[in-house]
Amino acid sequence: METQILKTKTKDSSLKNFTNKEIGDDHLHSGLETPLKKDAFLISDDEKKKKISYLFGEIMDTLGLDLNDDSLQGTPDRVAKMYIDEIFSGLNPINKPKIALFDNKYEYQQMLVEKDITFYSNCEHHFVPIIGKAHIAYISSGKVIGLSKLNRIVQYYAKRPQVQERLTNQIGEDLKGILQTEDVAVIIEAKHLCVSSRGIKDDTSTTVTTFYSGSFRNQSKVVELQNYLKH
């Protein structure tokens, strides 16, 4: 069978010579939005769980596992529930956290930093974990949100098949809209198990991605933020 060539709307013609497999392995991605089918939510979560359970059972059977074994017989249902209710729950917009804005009554005009937000995501190329920490900073334009909401926004976007670049930008762009300010920064440092547990099997490397908007495009603000993160 011939390998399909990825069809893309990008203006960069250099991508035309890459295959689907090569692009996946090189961690390139096509845009800000998570690629979803138009009919992604036409069936209920319960229906999705039943279908995933059946199909995962087929995978286990193909691998030669005995689904009659006491330890394995419930695995397809457990995996289906985990996919829909937990690790990929961020795919469904109904699970997006409700965010309330408050007036900045304290008149705090400096950057607010929430650092070391632990998250678990999954690489969309091999469906193995991405484990990392996110650091978020913003400067209020008159509105603030509860600190825990920053964590919840990170978790929402992390709980879907991801690439780190997209995850970083999704968090940053959403926070700009929620907080009604351009002054937002997001830094993510993560370990990809598709790198450490397979392929090259490099267990020491990490990947860092950044999103700087508004005042954070100023080098002095970036240095100030990085100093906060060192402590």
Tell me the catalytic residues. 123-126, 164, 192, 194
Rounded to an integer, what is the distance from CA 2 to the centroid of its chain? Answer: 32
Nearest to residue 111, comparing CAs of 135, 85, 82?
Answer: 135
What token pair was written down for 133? 């920490």
C-alpha 131/C-alpha 112 separation (Å) is 24
Under 8 Å between Cβ of 165 and 209: yes
Helix (H) or strand (E) holding 137: strand 129-138
Coil, helix or strand for 198?
coil
Place of tokens 């409700």: 98
